[in-house]
Amino acid sequence: AQSVTQLGSHVSVSEGALVLLRCNYSSSVPPYLFWYVQYPNQGLQLLLKYTTGATLVKGINGFEAEFKKSETSFHLTKPSAHMSDAAEYFCAVSEVLTGGGNKLTFGTGTQLKVEL
């Protein structure tokens, strides 16, 4: 079964600083990987996804992630943090289910705090 590990349940950065949120995955097949963001009292919004092809994936709000198969990693970065980036971020891997269809296995999430 697939699994996802997010290192650091809380990350704090200064506004304008680099954001780096770490995600490592375990998958027996080539993975489909996702980053979602959740603002307070809201659902999950897709930031970006890796399926096949280019290993550097660009998403919304200036975020990007690089798929590194050798390191089984899919870290999320943003060059310059903004106050509006404060939220919880979830890394997820897609798993094809025996009944057909997919489910996402999520990491435990990283709460990003952005300070002035």
Residues of this chain that bind another protein (CB under 8 A): 32, 34, 36, 41-46, 49, 51, 90, 94-109
- The amino acid occupying position 62 is G
Residue with smaller CB distance to another protein, 7 or 104: 104
β-pair type (110-115, 10-14): parallel
Q: Which is nearer to another protein, 67 or 81 (CB)?
A: 67
Q: What percentage of the chain's residues is helix, strand, coil (to nearest 5)? A: 5, 55, 40
Closer of 15 and 106 to another protein (Cβ):
106
Residue 97 token pair: 């289910």
CB 69, min distance to another protein, A: 17
The minimum distance between CB 75 and another protein, in angstroms, equals 19
Least distance (Å) between residue 92 CB and another protein: 8
Q: 29 — phi, psi (to 5°)?
A: -130, 165
